[in-house]
Amino acid sequence: MGNDWVEVADRCFVRRYPEWDLSVTVTAGSEASLVVDTRATAAQGVELRAQVAELPVPPVGFVVNTHVHFDHAWGNAAFAGLPVWAHDNVLADWDSYVARFRGSVRDAPDEAATRALLNTPLAPPDRSVTSVALLELGERHVELVHPGRGHTDGDLVVVVPDTDLLCAGDLVEQSGPLWYGVDCWPLEWAQTLELVVGLMSDATVVVPGHGDRVDKDFVLQQRLDASDIAGQIQQLAASGVAVDDALARGTWPIAAERLGDAVRRGYAHLGR
């Protein structure tokens, strides 16, 4: 795993962090830079901000959280005073997510990495996107797009049109399979990725939330996986298979033990 900035497109820098394997993107215009995702704690955010300052780019003017999850947004406090953008549902769900996630951490093994999550000061995003927003960085603009629900109900992708870069957040993952958690939307994820692919050209550089940059073919393959998973959940529910039996009955494109929440959520969304 690289631990330095890599310029993956014109004035677009990506750095992969060992903590939670997060990929952070910095995009520079002539006036301001944009940071996409802030890592998992205020201390990690402070380190990130110092590392951004080493880049040959204008000062950070904007921050985006691709979704509500801690590893993407709990470093926000390091960017106090700057506008932090996220989807409407991230602002709406912030407090309940924090309470739920910290509750789950309290039950987890007593490790330094998780203890830090309990204590770190938090700063919720303060600029809200419903479907699309445009940020002007100076001779370059970026688009924030909510393509629909998938990994969460508040996923944003960040598009830099002039250099054909797209930050996908956790709608796309390279270092592991798609992550279906307790707040996923398994029946809608494939359609959401269809819209994401519609924002891309054959040459688009895609930065996933976790892992190395990928291309359109990779995203199309993950869309097929998401579509396969949604189709099987629908079919199992329609054939009367009980939710507790469904995981064992499917032939899933990714390991079944990772799909418990996908099946439970899918059944719930079908009213089963």
Residues engaged in binding Zn ion (CB under 5 A)? 69, 170
Q: Which residues contact 232 (CB under 8 A, 6 or more apart)?
A: 250, 251, 252
Residue 124 structure tokens: 């919720």
Residue 249 structure tokens: 């009955």
Least distance to Zn ion, CB of residue 58, Å: 29
Kindly tell me which of 93 and 170 has the beta carbon lying closer to Zn ion. 170
Least distance to Zn ion, CB of residue 217, Å: 23
Kindly tell me which of 10 and 95 has the beta carbon lying closer to Zn ion. 95
Kindly tell me which of 39 and 69 has the beta carbon lying closer to Zn ion. 69
Residue 24 structure tokens: 């952070």
Nearest to 81 by CA among 55, 52, 49: 49
Least distance to Zn ion, CB of residue 65, Å: 10
Least distance to Zn ion, CB of residue 237, Å: 25
Which amino acid, one-letter code, is at 236?
L
Q: Give me the count of residues in the chain.
A: 272
Least distance to Zn ion, CB of residue 37, Å: 10
Residue 151 structure tokens: 């990994």
CB atoms under 10 Å from CB of 182, counted, come to 12
Residue 19 structure tokens: 């903590």
Kindly tell me which of 160 and 172 has the beta carbon lying closer to Zn ion. 172
Least distance to Zn ion, CB of residue 48, Å: 17
Kindly tell me which of 5 and 74 has the beta carbon lying closer to Zn ion. 74
Nearest to 188 by CA among 270, 259, 133: 270
Phi first, then psi: give them for residue 175, nearest 5 degrees.
-85, 0
Q: Which residues contact 12 (CB under 8 A, 6 or more apart)?
A: 25, 26, 27, 28, 160, 163, 165, 205
Kindly tell me which of 69 and 213 has the beta carbon lying closer to Zn ion. 69
